[in-house]
Amino acid sequence: MPSAMPSVRFLLLALVPVFAGCQMFSSEPEPIVVPAVRMQGELSAVDNRLQFRPCQEQRRFILDDSAGTGLLQESVALLNHGKGTLFADLQGRLVASKVPGNDGQIDLTRLYRIQNQGQSCNDLNFKRLTLRASGHEPDWVINANSKGLILERPNQEALVLPYLEEQLPEGRFSLSSDANGQHLELWVAPQRCVDSMSGSVQHLSAELRLDGKVMRGCAYYGGARQD
């Protein structure tokens, strides 16, 4: 009887690859994850659905807000108080659509901004910017890229400054500068923000502190920043 043990052990070892092969062929293939991409374009309402046409394209996509970005509610409010199309800056996954007359569907994952005025698709600086922030009363605009920022205000000379960025908890961050005798801080938080003048909706709130004065506004990521 002891002499039979090596044969049994050899048989079991020989069957291991067979079992492993059966398990490999019986397992279901992993689903393909379509990466989300950021797009800008024209947004309109067609047959009670939101339709999106990317900049410089003729393709049209149905939008599905399964991620709950709030795009539908925000768009309806702007469309009811303006023209028939909006500019949208969003992120989503391109999938097939069963709705006839469209080139596909975009499953939304993030809404950066929607607006009914501005340079929209013709903004040549967008791809170079990391952040754009602005506010009113008084009016101010900050455009930032990897090399520095520029602060523009009516009837004042533009202020060009280097800056340091500090990451903070909960997705917040700040840009600060003490160059040229100016103390500037821009605090940014991931919070829905509505421009008080235009009604545009942006995905970040902003607070500018300049030499002790606090000014509030909205902000969004430029094309050079994707986080």
Give the span between the Cα atoms of 166 and 185, in whole angstroms: 11
Whether 142 has a pLDDT exceeding 80, the answer reads yes
Is 138 in the same domain as 217? yes
Is 115 in the same domain as 43? yes
Count of domains observed in the chain: 2
Is 175 in the same domain as 99? no
Long-range contact set of residues 147-153: C-beta below 8 Å, sequence gap at least 24: 149/175, 149/177, 149/186, 151/184, 151/210
Look at 2-11, 94-103, 140-149, 182-191 and tell me which has the smallest mean pLDDT: 2-11
Is 217 in the same domain as 134? yes
**Over residues 204-214, mean pLDDT:** 94
Give the N- to C-terminal CA distance of the chain in Å, as an integer.
Answer: 68
In a domain, 20, yes or no: no
Confidence of residue 81 (pLDDT cuts 50, 70, 90): low
| Class of residue 187 by CB neighbours under 10 A (exposed 0-12, middle 13-18, buried 19+) | buried
Q: Which residue has the higher pLDDT, 81 or 44?
A: 44
pLDDT score for 16? 47
Whether 19 has a pLDDT exceeding 60, the answer reads no
Determine contact, residues 186/208, Cβ cutoff 8 Å. Answer: yes
Token pair listed for 103: 């080139």
pLDDT score for 29? 64
Whether 148 has a pLDDT exceeding 90, the answer reads yes
Is 97 in the same domain as 159? no
In a domain, 25, yes or no: no
pLDDT score for 8? 44
